[in-house]
Amino acid sequence: MPCSFFLEGCSGTVKNASSSGQFVKVFKMLRLIRLVKLLRLMRLDRLFERYKDELFFFLRMLTVVRLVIMLIYLGHLFGCLFYYFSSDFFHTSTERELARDGMLFTWLDQEDMSVSG
């Protein structure tokens, strides 16, 4: 596997062979880090088991709160996208000419006019 990291494969010099050994050590360290994460998850699972009865009361409320937060976030996201796509960059050339001549007003222009007028 370490040979696939080199363009010349395993036919390189002895220096490449020692660096390929370092790649193997790095992969082993990454696997060790994943094991530590799994141990943390096991501790978290034991903690949830201990407090399962107390948390069961809040489970329904947490799902509703999560749903409300998700709806607020999606509303904000869609509002930002709507504003972004309503900008002058997305208008056609005919719409730009009509807006410049004062014959076409977008909702963004109408909002500016109601504040100033």
100 belongs to a structural domain: no
82 belongs to a structural domain: no
14 belongs to a structural domain: yes
Amino acid 16: pLDDT: 47
CA-to-CA distance for 82 and 85, rounded, in angstroms? 5
pLDDT grade, residue 14 (50/70/90)?
A: very low
Q: Which two tokens stand for residue 34?
A: 């994943």
Q: How many domains does the chain have?
A: 1
Q: Hunting for tokens 């409320």 — which residue is that?
A: 61
Write down the pTM of the prediction.
0.42
pLDDT in tens, 34-77: 777 777 777 777 777 777 777 777 777 888 888 999 999 999 99
Would you mind telling me the total number of residues written for the chain in this entry? 117
> In which domain, by residue range, is 37 found?
1-50
